[in-house]
Copies of this chain bind each other. A is one copy, B any other.
Amino acid sequence: MKGWLKIVGLGPGAEAMVTPEVSAALADATDVVGYVPYVERVAPRPGLVRHGSDNREEIRRAEQALQMTADGHRVVVVSSGDPGVFAMAAALFEALEAAGSDWRALDIQVLPGISAMLAASARLGAPLGHDFCCLNLSDNLKPWALIEKRLRLAAEADLAMAFYNPRSRARPEGFGRALQVLREVCGPRRPIMFARAVSTPQETLRVTTLDEATPDMADMRTLVMVGSSQTRYLEYHGGAWVYTPRSAS
């Protein structure tokens, strides 16, 4: 049997946001590999083995997926959101490169998913409607000085910003420092949005300003967005739309 490997995105949580091609890949797989809570989103069935592993086990998990593919399995590596945005696709290609060029003959595909950033943006309105950037605030794999440099340059470029991994249990102080940098360069009244567990029953949305924002508004399941200088609110009964207009001067 010829094996294949599909690195797929399950979207932010709701079944209704899983693309048909990802559902088809899961229906045809012999093995599903990923971080425990994501693997658990795939319903068990006869003929499917679910391999859940811990967070920060990305490279070992990628090696396991490559080995099973070489052994003839039909393997799906699952990420939440999109696999190419701070998720398993980069880890898989790092492991593929380290494995040597023989391994590149494997049948590998990446199937995109609705990223947390796009789902959060849709719930809030259109905060990413103009130029934006997407930064990982975790300093696990890069120095804090680089994160701070990128925050300052992104603000100088007047981009809207989406932040992944704003606050980890291991480094709770980082996000507070990020907020301080942002207040300095964007001013106190700039909109900031906290979108937690979007599209799940635990979903919460909060729209505020940098001077009112506190580090505890984010946890590991929160996508944080900061508007550009052009970002606007439209209040309505029961909430507010946030959007960034298409034009800038």
Which residues of A pack against B, CB within 8 Å?
9, 11, 14-21, 24, 58, 82-86, 89-94, 96-97, 101, 104-105, 108, 110-115, 118-119, 121-123, 125-136, 141-143, 146, 149-150, 153-154, 156-159, 232, 234-237, 241, 243-249
Contacts and interface: CB of A to CB of B under 8 A. Distances in A.
Contacts of A17: 19-21, 112
B118 A247 contact: no
Contacts of A156: 153
Contact of A133 (B9, B118, B132): B132
Nearest to A88: B126
Q: Is the interface of A mostly helix, strand, loop or mixed?
A: mixed
B130 A133 contact: no
A90 B129 contact: yes
Contact of A141 (B21, B113, B146, B248): B248
A142 B96 contact: no
Nearest to A89: B126
Contacts of A241: 93, 96, 104, 108
B134 A131 contact: yes
A125 B93 contact: yes
Contact of A130 (B115, B127, B136): B136
Nearest to A236: B104
B24 A16 contact: yes
Given A150-B157, A150-B159, A234 B133 contact: no
Nearest to A135: B131
B122 A110 contact: yes
12 contacts: A19-B114, A85-B118, A89-B129, A94-B243, A105-B237, A111-B122, A112-B121, A113-B114, A115-B118, A146-B249, A150-B157, A150-B158
A59 to B, nearest CB: 9
A183 B33 CA distance: 40
Nearest to A244: B90
Given A110-B123, A126-B84, A133-B134, A142 B247 contact: yes
